[in-house]
Chain A
Amino acid sequence: MDASSEEKAEFEGEEIEYLSYGGEHHLPLIMSLVDQELSEPYSIFTYRYFVYLWPQLSFLAFHKGKCVGTVVCKMGEHRNTFRGYIAMLVVIKPYRGRGIATELVTRSIRMMMESGCEEVTLEAEVTNKGALALYGRLGFIRAKRLFHYYLNGVDAFRLKLLFPRQELHFSGPMMTNTDASHEHTDLDNT
């Protein structure tokens, strides 16, 4: 057992560099991270499907040139809603608990919002307390429970984040907003 991989990495927050997916050279980094940490085996075509069609939604986190985290997403029309979907989120173990995953996801969600998504969704195991807390802090609710969603028999939550829709909004204080939330042109007001 490699002792060094078990230890927590020492670093300052500013040392982490976040990059948007930049091309084929990033693909093996993403693949090796996801293969290492997540239980689902994906073919290279699965990765290419996401990063070729939505390169602006995938981000990588680097520390001193080493890739330590990644998020892979997509977005599209789903039953009359323009919706973002978070497919994979990984941060290697020594770098967890320091907000890197939150930052990766936040960047992706912001991009989805700016692109006109009305909501964002993903599935997470009901036992994955870390993920549930992370997404809960970002405003996701547990919209549904999916019985035995995973083949090992574990249930999943479908998590959903609904972006505010200007015309319905109760006049209360808005949380920290980006410029995008004031643009009406891209949002589909049905």
Chain B
Amino acid sequence: MADKAVSEEASMDGQAPKPTSIPVTDNTVWADASPLLDAACIGLRYGELIHGDNFNLFAAMSALEIMDPKMDSGIVCRYYSIDEAIENGAAPVPISLDSTIDVQCTIDIMDHLLACEAAWHKGHSLAQTVFSCIYLLRLDRTASHALLHSYGRVIRATCKAVLSVVSDARTHEEEDLFTMTYGLPLNGDGDEKCLSMLNAVEETISRQLRACKATSSKRRVSEDLEPLQYNPNLEEGFCKALLCRLRFRKHFFHVLTCMKRPQGRGLELARKHIASCISELEFILKSAEFLQSCSGESCEDDIDDKTTASGREPIGFDASLNSRLSAPTPPRAIKILSWKKAVEYFVKLLHDLDVICSYSLDPHLENLLRFVVQFQKSQPDLVARSHLQLLLVQDGKLYGRDPIFAVITKAAALPEATKNHDIQKNESILQLGQCYYILQLVMNLLKILCTNAAWQRRKLGKILQDWRVIYLQNICMKIFQHILIWVEEQTYWIACRFLMLGFELELYSASEYCMVYWYSYAVLIKLAEKTHLKMAVSYDTAKRKGKKKRDSPKDLVRESRIPPAVLFLQCYICLAEGLTMMLAALRNEFMILQSPSPFNTEQEKFVQHFELLQRACIPDHASYLSFKESTTHARFSTLVMYNYFKDAQRIAKEVKSSFSNDPDRLAELRKLEQVAEHNSVALNLICRLGALDPSLKVSFEFSHHPFFATAVVRRS
């Protein structure tokens, strides 16, 4: 409707349309504000801005968006509405009366749509990507063109499905362009049947492919089948090119449907469809050679930048058409991904989804947290992350299956006998409220861990206080002791992740590494302490609840041995301490890695980096003063004697056997060994040569581990 009004205006030679009266209802009264606006225009002098109590100068200034036709009335567009574009032949149906060209152009449209879809996933608005396609904006027009129509329906249904996953996850704050769709025709009647439409088209083309293959060897032509296009030499190539594109869409839609099924019931089937998608993508890539050869155009150098396999520009797209709608269309033209990059994107997305689908739905929270952290290392995009989040937390249950409270009691190693009713017996309202609060914290934590690293770190920092509050305000009864210890352990785990993500996000400069490792060391010590305590308490309880047997020698040994999980943390602790001291010694003895500033000191940087941790008292007594006290006396001569890196190496070796079935942790231990070894060597080198050789330069690189740096000693 809005488009019609605009085009009427455009054709009426500047005559403003007469305002029609709008009927009064219960809640609304309409008045014509045109005279008021006219008076305001006359009253404003050139260069003046309106501002007022509820509309300050900042708001007024920000409201002016250059090049956005919703705000910038002077901007000139090629077409002022979708209808005008269509009337001028921007999206003809059929695309061409020449059936060969029609097929070629259809394939180009499919390819460009794939590129648009990838660009949308990567963070641009739907209005400027997928819905820059005029055919999609008026899909009913294509009803006579079975290929375009069925393809359009499936794309529309797919976008809608992906959108609903991301919207339901509700953790896309920084990627919010993704879900803004106001004014876009996303809901099509009968889109649920899009797959059957697609199947019909696929069937037709399959038969045509069989027929044209048969024709070449047996010269039999079925009278029912109409060829796709008129050039028999190209028929097979076009059929194949179309089939793999249609099949990819079909399988991809199935993947989304299967993964949506509650409690992970569809994951196994999803994996099969994922495998099909990947193989169809390979066929799509292979079709490029054929499509380029029959495009008749010379092979250009920048074919890799093109958004279609054939290298031609697609017909029927205009990214500026939607700029008058409400859906955000930032005024700058965006660059659609190249077709090759789009295929790469989908391959990666499918692999990430496959990892999710292969997950064993482990009921142990500890293992789940490790899985999510590991998954995030491959830097999955928004769509994959949203799918993971929705799998993990459904209907307030883990995987839609395990009540979160049961998961927590298991994680806290509460004795098996403890059930809900035991908790309810100790019934103070405060304690039940506390339970509920902890449930919310855990669900929130799981959601946060599925978001992009930058946003994740900020949220983790913010929730530290929420977790710490449980400990600080605790009214503890014996039965909650386990949970309390577990909560403390989780709190320090979150703090650790917060600090480590800072390295991944490149938030620290080299002159800040020392304080970061020192703080990490302080947090890791507490984490190890709480983990050990949790295991000791659970073992204690298990022993007491078990039959009164004499302690076998094995039991005694087990008691005194430090659990492997704690040893693992001790390895981290040694590395953190070693790096802290080495960096401190470098500063103390060689004056490097300092960063004097005219406006503030190291203390301000310390306060800023650790503000959220300090506010939550994590840990207690970790102040700038104690940091200085710990590091002022670091010297290489003493470091070589108490070599923390050697300790780390020893522990890593010792604990490897306990994780022989865990490839991820074994890989991690190997990395830690490397870090320890290289740093130990560097330490000795600097100690021996450092004072004597001013040409030695020390830098810190993350060549072996994303969190623990390796010292590299070079001659400048």
| Chain A contacts to B: CB under 8 angstroms | 41-46, 48-49, 53, 106, 109, 113, 126, 136-139, 141-149, 151-153, 155, 157, 160-164, 168-170, 172, 174-176
Alpha-carbon distance between A148 and B335 when the two chains are bound, in angstroms: 14
Identity of the chain A residue whose Cβ is nearest the Cβ of B609 in the assembled complex = A141
A109 to chain B, nearest CB (A): 6
B505 to chain A, nearest CB (A): 4
Q: Which of A53, A138, A151 is B597 in contact with, Cβ under 8 Å?
A: A138
Contact A169 B595 (CB under 8 A): no
Between-chain CB contacts (< 8 Å), 6 pairs: A41-B66, A139-B599, A139-B604, A143-B608, A145-B505, A162-B607
B509-541 with Cβ < 8 A to chain A: 509, 512
Q: Which of B332, B595, B625 is A136 in contact with, Cβ under 8 Å?
A: B595
B238-295 with Cβ < 8 A to chain A: none
Known: A141-B605, A160-B608. 16 other contacts (CB 8 A): A46-B61, A46-B64, A139-B599, A139-B605, A142-B508, A143-B507, A143-B608, A147-B174, A148-B123, A151-B330, A151-B332, A161-B600, A161-B604, A162-B605, A170-B603, A175-B597
B345 to chain A, nearest CB (A): 12
Contact A147 B175 (CB under 8 A): yes
A36 to chain B, nearest CB (A): 16
Q: Which of B49, B174, B453, B509 is A45 in contact with, Cβ under 8 Å?
A: B49
B527 to chain A, nearest CB (A): 24
Q: Is the interface of B mostly helix, strand, loop or mixed?
A: loop
Q: Which residues of A contact B433 (CB under 8 A)?
A: none
Q: Which residues of A contact B49 (CB under 8 A)?
A: 45, 48
Contact A148 B174 (CB under 8 A): yes
Contact B598 A141 (CB under 8 A): no
B463 to chain A, nearest CB (A): 16
Q: Which of A113, A141, A145 is B454 in contact with, Cβ under 8 Å?
A: A145
Identity of the chain A residue whose Cβ is nearest the Cβ of B333 in the assembled complex = A151
With A43-B66, A106-B598, A153-B123: A162-B604 Cβ-Cβ less than 8 Å: yes
B493 at the interface (CB under 8 A from A): no
Q: Which residues of B contact A106 (CB under 8 A)?
A: 598
* In the complex, number of A-B residue pairs with CB atoms less than 8 Å apart: 115
Please, how many residues of chain B have a CB less than 8 angstroms from a CB on the other chain? 46
Identity of the chain B residue whose Cβ is nearest the Cβ of A144 in the assembled complex = B458
Contact A49 B58 (CB under 8 A): yes
Contact B599 A141 (CB under 8 A): no
B449-499 with Cβ < 8 A to chain A: 452-455, 457-458
B624 at the interface (CB under 8 A from A): yes
With A153-B122, A164-B604: A43-B64 Cβ-Cβ less than 8 Å: yes
A3 to chain B, nearest CB (A): 27
Q: Which residues of A contact B597 (CB under 8 A)?
A: 137-139, 175
Q: Which residues of B contact A147 (CB under 8 A)?
A: 174-175, 452-455
With A41-B66, A53-B57, A175-B601: A145-B123 Cβ-Cβ less than 8 Å: no
B457 to chain A, nearest CB (A): 7
A183 to chain B, nearest CB (A): 15
| Chain B contacts to A: CB under 8 angstroms | 47, 49, 57-58, 60-61, 64, 66-67, 122-123, 174-175, 330-332, 334-335, 452-455, 457-458, 505-509, 512, 595-601, 603-605, 607-609, 624-625, 628
Identity of the chain B residue whose Cβ is nearest the Cβ of A149 in the assembled complex = B174
A48 to chain B, nearest CB (A): 8
Identity of the chain B residue whose Cβ is nearest the Cβ of A43 in the assembled complex = B64
Q: Which residues of A contact B122 (CB under 8 A)?
A: 153
Alpha-carbon distance between A160 and B607 when the two chains are bound, in angstroms: 12
Q: Which residues of A contact B123 (CB under 8 A)?
A: 148, 153
Q: Which of B508, B598, B628 is A170 in contact with, Cβ under 8 Å?
A: B628
Q: Which residues of B contact A141 (CB under 8 A)?
A: 507, 509, 512, 605, 608-609
Identity of the chain B residue whose Cβ is nearest the Cβ of A142 in the assembled complex = B507
Identity of the chain A residue whose Cβ is nearest the Cβ of B49 in the assembled complex = A45
A99 to chain B, nearest CB (A): 13
Q: Which of A126, A161, A170 is B599 in contact with, Cβ under 8 Å?
A: A161
Alpha-carbon distance between A106 and B601 when the two chains are bound, in angstroms: 16
Q: Which residues of B contact A113 (CB under 8 A)?
A: 599
Alpha-carbon distance between A146 and B454 when the two chains are bound, in angstroms: 6
A175 to chain B, nearest CB (A): 6
Contact A45 B506 (CB under 8 A): no
Identity of the chain B residue whose Cβ is nearest the Cβ of A41 in the assembled complex = B66
Alpha-carbon distance between A2 and B335 when the two chains are bound, in angstroms: 28
Q: Which residues of B contact A176 (CB under 8 A)?
A: 598
Q: Which residues of A contact B508 (CB under 8 A)?
A: 142
Contact B57 A49 (CB under 8 A): yes
Q: Which residues of B contact A137 (CB under 8 A)?
A: 595, 597
Alpha-carbon distance between A74 and B330 when the two chains are bound, in angstroms: 25
Q: Which of A109, A157, A161, A170 has the most CB of B within 10 A?
A: A170
Contact B507 A145 (CB under 8 A): yes
Contact A44 B605 (CB under 8 A): no
Contact A142 B600 (CB under 8 A): no
Q: Which residues of B contact A136 (CB under 8 A)?
A: 509, 595
Contact A148 B603 (CB under 8 A): no
Q: Which residues of A contact B607 (CB under 8 A)?
A: 162, 168
Q: Which residues of A contact B454 (CB under 8 A)?
A: 144-147, 155
Q: Which of B458, B507, B624 is A157 in contact with, Cβ under 8 Å?
A: B507
Alpha-carbon distance between A42 and B67 when the two chains are bound, in angstroms: 10
Contact A169 B603 (CB under 8 A): yes
Q: Which of B175, B458, B605 is A148 in contact with, Cβ under 8 Å?
A: B175
